[in-house]
Amino acid sequence: MKILILPSQYITNYKQRTFDITKAYIKNLLKKKINIKDTKSHFILNEHYHYSNLPIVNGKENTFIVGEYFKEYKSKTIPNDTRYPSLHNSPEATHISFNDAINQINIFDVVIVGIKSGKYGKKILEVASKKDIFCCIVDYSDDFEVYKKENYKNYNLICKGLEYKKDFQLYFKHDIPIDLNIDYLEPLSPMPINFENYPLLKEKSFKDKIYNYSFVGRIHNNVHNARSSILSLLNKIEGKKFIKEYNSNSIERLSLKNYCEILNESKICLTPWGKVWDSARHPEPAIYGNVPLIPKPNCKLANDISLNDNNSILYETLKSDEKFIIIKENEVLEKINHCISNENYFKKLKDSWRHEMLCKNTLLERAKYILKKINYHKNSFN
């Protein structure tokens, strides 16, 4: 199957990003909020996690990407200051120009378009649709509005202004509420990772782990209180902990190696909500033998990923008056205390979580999932 991928902007160089980065840097410099390194981080997208390994499962000769990856995505050396280790060392595909993609559109069986590709994406979809080529959208962006019940029938909002059958036949979406059932929507949560891109550390044993739990990151109180609510509950847990909070203006952060050393020293890793439920932290405990303390998802999960009491410490939140409240707090505290004091229980959870992530949530497994869903919907559509 020949697949053409047009990533969202800032991933490949079909659209340059120098002007956008410079403008943002000057703007933030005047506000004395941010440095050039942090500015650049806003012009890097994790969208390609979901399809970057398609050349491996579909064949390089059958997988075409519009534009060349920017250097961060190609770098075989994982930068020690990166926020997204899995972003680097992307497999090579067959890279072609935008004009060549348009001119050769007839050779493709499937077109995949990133939602933030602007006029380039619209043009590819327009040309491909006229040729009856199967079109897929990858919408890997936080979508707060889709969780409001009143928007469940607002297909224009859900699909960002694109229309089923006219613009696309399959829509991969980051945020799909658990009770929203639309046949052409397929989930992209949680974020997959590439285990090999993280520092190789000798895993600490249960008795050698220093911290009962740890968390490194922003609190997001300007968005919601979901992170601060679980941190408040954890104050009731005795023993050593590692908590490092960043505010929105923080520039200096832990290096990748230091961050991973903290994971390795911890029994439980707090993996709370990001701006929405999904977070880069959800899969990371699987790397260094930690148990995730993770909220019950309010969105559909990709690739039959399961969160349960046998592979994690789940807690449930209730949203009331724009505030997140943790329900059954005593039960959550009981599970946490049992985990940090009982090696067998700890081992069962952390081994099960590692197995779940390795088997279902690596970049390679996500590419297999994407291809599987394309084949299923393509065959059903035809």
For residue 205, pLDDT beyond 90? yes
- The span from the CA of 294 to the CA of 349, in Å, is 12
Q: What is the pLDDT of residue 181?
A: 97
For residue 300, pLDDT beyond 90? yes
Tell me the mean pLDDT in the region 174-191.
Answer: 97
Q: What is the pLDDT of residue 44?
A: 76
Tell me the mean pLDDT in the region 276-281.
Answer: 91
| Class of domain 198-360 (CATH, top level) | alpha beta
Find out whether 3 and 64 touch, Cβ atoms under 8 Å.
yes
The separation between CA 217 and the C-alpha centre of its own chain, rounded to angstroms, equals 16
For residue 325, pLDDT beyond 80? yes
Q: Which ranges of the chain does DSSP label H, i.e. alpha helix?
A: 18-30, 36-41, 54-58, 71-74, 98-103, 118-130, 155-158, 226-234, 256-264, 329-341, 343-360, 363-381
For residue 250, pLDDT beyond 60? no
Amino acid found at 306: S
User: 256 Cβ partners below 8 Å, 6+ apart?
Assistant: 78, 79, 80, 81, 82, 85, 198, 199
Residue boundaries of the structural domains of the chain: 3-193+363-381, 198-360
- The span from the CA of 286 to the CA of 292, in Å, is 8
